[in-house]
Amino acid sequence: MLTLPELLEEDQFCPEFDENILVEDFTTCSGTSAGVGVGGGHDLVATGKITVIGDTVDSLATPVSFKTKTVKLKPISSRFSGRTIGQKNFKQLRLKKGDKLAFVFEMIYNTKPVKMIHNSKKGGSFSVSYQKMVNLLVKGGLKEEASFTVPKESTFAYGLMEIQLEDRQMVISLEPWNHKRNLLCLFSHDGRPSEPLNKAIDEIQDKKGLLQPLADLPKSTCSDLLEKLRKVLEDRDTLTLLEETLEQCSNGSCDCPECPAVASFMGLLDVSGISSSMKNAVYVLVSAMDTLPDEMPPLLMSCSPETLRVLNQLVDSLRKDRQAKLPESLPATLQEDGEFRWAADFLCSTNETLVEMSESWDIPAEVLLEVLCLTVQGLNMMQSGK
């Protein structure tokens, strides 16, 4: 990277600039929480108590001010426009077709050190398996504390001025090519948690790779595992026991359970000789199913391959386009009065409908959508087989 004077081999040049206060004594403290339990309420006023499954707080330790330093462009343009870049320096730039050459003409920086603090705490009953899956199989509740300090006079944002080239000859206009970052977005927001649909989509995108090894399972193995999983789903406690057993195995210690359905499932995993990544993918699928409300896993397990294929297409659309829409041609099970229309509608939710549809469950809307998508993806991979 070269400075503009270095590019033109002019050592004595020192630009003029203006310096101004942009933000003075800025501070922020934001927090989010999600609650569960009988009654589902947050009684902050009457009792001063709150039952939550997750709390997150981000804050600035002390107020901070920001200043701008802006180069005076007219002297720059007068001095350098029309100058030719030397052949040696031009080669160093290695400009490719479509690349733009620019220099920084404005910077925004902090006047004193900035200390950021992040506290996060997760716990509760509904998402025990979900939390273990998200937090790299950490048992129980999770508490995270982190802080960092940005040194004084660090650049938080910048503006660029494009340099147009005509046969190595520079033309510098006075119209900025603005790549300035949104400074306040680094710290502030409106105090509300991000929209549940976007939160769910981000998590779905991050976790898709966890299930991918299922696509490489032999078709016969998939068929046998699905059959044994159906037996497990006949009783919710058995599904939870299977999830706990898979967790133990992922940690390197696995006791043979007394439950016949779980023992049969685990025995098939052992004799199949599948890789550890495939076993972990099975664990992610089972954990997602164990987080769904009681009635959902057996229903989804009974989906036909055609129904699952369409539901999986909706999941893909949700990931890629951040909004799923029902296709014109639907199998009978996904039509208006179909058995699985609820799943299709849920996958096509907006932020508003997502919240409304999840009010009858003690699970945050974004978590419910996320584990539904993971379950659909996993079951579709296994039904497809290799």
d(CA 280, CA 210): 8
What pLDDT, on the 0 to 100 scale, is given for residue 144? 54
According to the per-residue pLDDT averaged within each range, which of 104-108, 284-288, 364-368 is highest?
A: 284-288
Tell me the three state secondary structure of residue 171: strand
Evaluate if residue 33 carries a pLDDT over 50. Answer: no
Evaluate if residue 343 carries a pLDDT over 60. Answer: yes
Assess contact for 17 and 72: CB atoms under 8 A.
yes
100-139 tens-digit pLDDT? 788 888 888 888 887 766 655 544 333 333 443 333 323 3
66-113 tens-digit pLDDT? 888 888 878 888 888 888 888 888 887 887 776 778 888 888 888 888
What pLDDT, on the 0 to 100 scale, is given for residue 193? 43
Query: What sign has the CA pseudo-torsion 368, 369, 371, 372?
Result: positive
Evaluate if residue 11 carries a pLDDT over 50. Answer: yes
According to the per-residue pLDDT averaged within each range, which of 10-14, 54-58, 220-224 is highest?
A: 220-224
Residues 6+ apart with CB under 8 A from 54: 32, 33, 34, 120, 121, 122, 123, 124
210-248 tens-digit pLDDT? 888 998 888 999 999 999 999 999 999 999 999 988 888
What pLDDT, on the 0 to 100 scale, is given for residue 378? 94
What pLDDT, on the 0 to 100 scale, is given for residue 119? 59
Evaluate if residue 17 carries a pLDDT over 50. Answer: yes
What pLDDT, on the 0 to 100 scale, is given for residue 112? 81
Report residue 383: phi and psi, to 5°.
-70, -30
- From the CB of residue 333, how many other CB atoms can be counted at a distance below 10 Å? 20
Query: What sign has the CA pseudo-torsion 281, 380, 324, 335?
Result: negative
* Short-list 118, 117, 121, 128, CA closest to 142: 121
Task: Report, as an integer, the average pLDDT of 185-206.
Answer: 63
Task: Report, as an integer, the average pLDDT of 336-363.
Answer: 80
What pLDDT, on the 0 to 100 scale, is given for residue 83? 84
138-152, 232-246, 335-349: least confidently modelled range: 138-152
Evaluate if residue 186 carries a pLDDT over 50. Answer: no
What pLDDT, on the 0 to 100 scale, is given for residue 78? 80
d(CA 68, CA 91): 33
b/e code 52-81 from CB counts within 10 Å (16+ = b): bbbbbebbbeeebebbbbbbebeebbebbe
**Beta-bridge mates of residue 32:** 56
d(CA 372, CA 196): 14
d(CA 127, CA 140): 10
What pLDDT, on the 0 to 100 scale, is given for residue 331? 92
Q: Find the DSSP H helices in the chain.
A: 4-7, 73-80, 87-93, 128-134, 196-211, 219-232, 236-250, 260-272, 276-291, 296-301, 305-321, 341-347, 351-357, 365-384
d(CA 180, CA 335): 48
* Short-list 226, 198, 355, 209, CA closest to 300: 226
- From the CB of residue 182, how many other CB atoms can be counted at a distance below 10 Å? 8
d(CA 225, CA 264): 10
Assess contact for 57 and 143: CB atoms under 8 A.
no
Dihedral, CA atoms, 87, 92, 94, 99, nearest 10 degrees?
Answer: -90
Compute the radius of gyration of the chain from its Cα atoms.
28
Task: Report, as an integer, the average pLDDT of 32-49.
Answer: 33
**Beta-bridge mates of residue 155:** 109
- pLDDT above 90 covers a percentage of the chain that reads 22
Evaluate if residue 385 carries a pLDDT over 70. Answer: no
Task: Report, as an integer, the average pLDDT of 317-335.
Answer: 90
Beta 101-110 vs 155-166: how paired, if at all? Answer: antiparallel
180-189, 300-309, 330-339: least confidently modelled range: 180-189
What pLDDT, on the 0 to 100 scale, is given for residue 361? 63
Assess contact for 376 and 311: CB atoms under 8 A.
yes
What pLDDT, on the 0 to 100 scale, is given for residue 239? 94
Average pLDDT, rounded, for the chain: 75
What pLDDT, on the 0 to 100 scale, is given for residue 5? 78
Amino acid identity at 312: N
Evaluate if residue 50 carries a pLDDT over 50. Answer: no
d(CA 362, CA 200): 16
Q: 271: pLDDT confidence band, cut at 50, 70 and 90?
A: confident
158-167, 218-227, 315-324: least confidently modelled range: 158-167
